[in-house]
Amino acid sequence: QRESISGLNFCMMASEKAKYEVQITTGQLFNAITLDAVYIILIGMKADKITKSERTSVSIKKTAIVYTDEDLGDLIMITLEREGSSILPESGWFCETVKVLDANKGKECV
């Protein structure tokens, strides 16, 4: 089982070899937490070319690091995916915020 959530965010991000730090916050609602595997893809626009990161596993409880071979340019979209386990029952999930920090430039997008 796979569920995707996409969000738009127009934030300038620039560097040569890029390192992005990702923090995901789960809301305080009943059944907001998930035990499913969560992944993120960062999508940017650089010189009229759309670039994207590899699908990277992220943790709800700690900062995840996304490395790219080149700068993604302006971050224009993120995609979150969660994959449920065939063993565990389906769970709900309320993603409250996603913060992406360009670790090379110190610029944050929320």
**Helices of type H across 1-110:** none
Summarised one tens digit per residue, pLDDT across range 23-52 is 988 888 877 778 788 899 999 988 788 888
C-alpha distances in Å from residue 62, one per residue of 8, 11, 22, 25, 82: 23, 23, 9, 9, 16
- pTM as predicted: 0.74
Summarised one tens digit per residue, pLDDT across range 56-91 is 888 877 888 999 988 898 889 999 998 877 676 677
